[in-house]
Amino acid sequence: MSDLERAGDAASPFPYAPSRESTEIVSLQERYGLFIGGELVEPKSGAWFPTISPATEEPLAEVAEAGEEDVDLAVESARGAWERHWRDLPGRERAKYLYRIARALQERAREFAVLETLDGGKPIRESRDVDLPLAAAHFFYYAGWADKLGYAFAGRTPRPLGVAAQVIPWNFPLLMAAWKLAPALATGNTAVLKPAETTPLTALLLTEVLQDADLPPGVVNVITGAGETGSHLVNHPGIDKVAFTGSTEVGKIIQRSLAGTGRRLTLELGGKAANIVFEDAPLDQAVEGIVNGIYFNQGHVCCAGSRLLVQESVAGPVLEKLKDRLETLRVGDPLDKNTDVGAINSRAQLDKITELVQAGVDEGAEMYQPACDLPERGYWFRPTVFTSVAQSHRIAQEEIFGPVLAVMTFRTPEEALVKANNTPYGLSAGVWTEKGSRILWMASRLRAGVIWANTYNRFDPASPFGGYKESGFGREGGLHGLEPYLAFEGAG
């Protein structure tokens, strides 16, 4: 059987020939040190750990594991760079560096996208069309603010805080680095960034861009390691601000340990968003929005539309269309440009998804998965839909962070609202309806930081992003994203 025939024998009527992105553009080093003082250095800890490709389980490189002494050096380096010149550099000069970084990301976008997909397992289509353009856009956007801070906060005189400790997760590695670094640098702070242990490579490649941009040594430091390294960093007495994106569990630990220290903190945590479809919504578009809401990036998205609330009168046709659409999703090699759902980021995450899906089955929900072949090696999970879900089920309450949708129904807008807000989280929501007044009615009552109407998972650097309740506090993006990195004269 030819590749073309084989690719076409799934439920999709369209045959696809494999279209694999070449990895030649990426040159991996065997080992990556810590980026401290403007160069990659060996860790004082002497410890290293491998980072693997979740699609093949093959090791890609070894990465340094920063210990306490390494964290000290990184913070010292950031402090020195801040005091020596970064805090006093005019905004227009800081902006030049940010523009250079943004342009270099655009120029090297393909290389970054391939590396992101290799290290994290997300489809190349998404790294190429979402992560990279948005990361560059973030640097461009904040470059524009760097010399206008005096106008951004009328009547108040902003000043930088000092050294920011920034800890990020594995679902959007480079994009989260951009969300952290761009506003910190634009406002005159220096940074120590810690990428997640399963996806350190694009942050390390970014250090080449920082060097090429002639960013003064120490302004950005990148240290790798797992939770222990993160903990040393956020608890270091030499830092002025912590910006954390990750799980609610770790967010709570950090909040507790920072209480009373006077250090500034922003937390971007988990979510369990409701995607709400009313009977008057354009159903085909809504189904695309549901698919994008939960299967984008394998559902490893804090704002994923993981709970579908569909009005009872259209539940039948919506589910039928959704199941049909699921049959056409292509799961597999993330480097293939036809792939819709790539690899699960790690063995640990796959185990967590499997456990929660089993809980859904045990608690009596009905599971549907399309028939699709999965590669033999690597970490994979089929796109999954649960119906007959009760509000109390774990799959309706807990963040799964995988391609798993829990479907519930409602009859009235009031009922939809109560069900949507019945969660400890409050990061995002989606509303699908033709009626503008209903969108506004819902949006003003939903307890969520980001609400999309007739679309889902749209991001823009000019738009603030962040949560309520256990989804954290503080905003990233937009004008709001500058404030957590600034103090104001007279206000401490």
399 is a site residue for ligand NAD (CB under 6 A): yes
* Structural contact between residues 349 and 339, judged by C-beta atoms closer than 8 angstroms: no
166 is a site residue for ligand NAD (CB under 6 A): no
**Interface residue with ligand NAD, options 270, 305, 378, 430 (CB under 6 A):** 270
Determine which one of 268, 398, 399, 483 is catalytic: 268
Q: Which stretch binds ligand NAD (CB under 6 A): 69-77, 107-115, 189-197, 380-388?
A: 189-197
119 is a site residue for ligand NAD (CB under 6 A): no
Segment 205 to 234, residues that bind ligand NAD, using CB under 6 A: 226-227, 230-231, 234
Q: Smallest distance, Å, CB 401 to ligand NAD? A: 5
**Interface residue with ligand NAD, options 401, 410, 432, 485 (CB under 6 A):** 401
- In the residue annotation, 489 being an active-site residue is answered as no
Segment 278 to 307, residues that bind ligand NAD, using CB under 6 A: 302
427 is a site residue for ligand NAD (CB under 6 A): yes
CB nearer to ligand NAD: pick between 370 and 466: 466
Q: Smallest distance, Å, CB 14 to ligand NAD? A: 33
464 is a site residue for ligand NAD (CB under 6 A): no
426 is a site residue for ligand NAD (CB under 6 A): no
**Interface residue with ligand NAD, options 65, 197, 333, 398 (CB under 6 A):** 197
**Interface residue with ligand NAD, options 56, 247, 328, 455 (CB under 6 A):** 247
167 is a site residue for ligand NAD (CB under 6 A): yes
CB nearer to ligand NAD: pick between 41 and 253: 253
CB nearer to ligand NAD: pick between 109 and 269: 269
425 is a site residue for ligand NAD (CB under 6 A): no
369 is a site residue for ligand NAD (CB under 6 A): no
- In the residue annotation, 302 being an active-site residue is answered as yes
Q: Smallest distance, Å, CB 257 to ligand NAD? A: 8
Q: Which stretch binds ligand NAD (CB under 6 A): 125-133, 239-247, 291-299, 361-369?
A: 239-247
With CA atoms as reference, report the closest residue to 294 among 387, 12, 302.
302
Q: Which stretch binds ligand NAD (CB under 6 A): 54-62, 73-81, 168-176, 372-380?
A: 168-176
Chain contacts with ligand NAD (rule: CB under 6 A): 167-171, 194, 196-197, 226-227, 230-231, 234, 245-247, 250, 253-254, 268-271, 302, 399, 401, 427, 467, 471-472
Which residue numbers are catalytic?
A: 268, 302
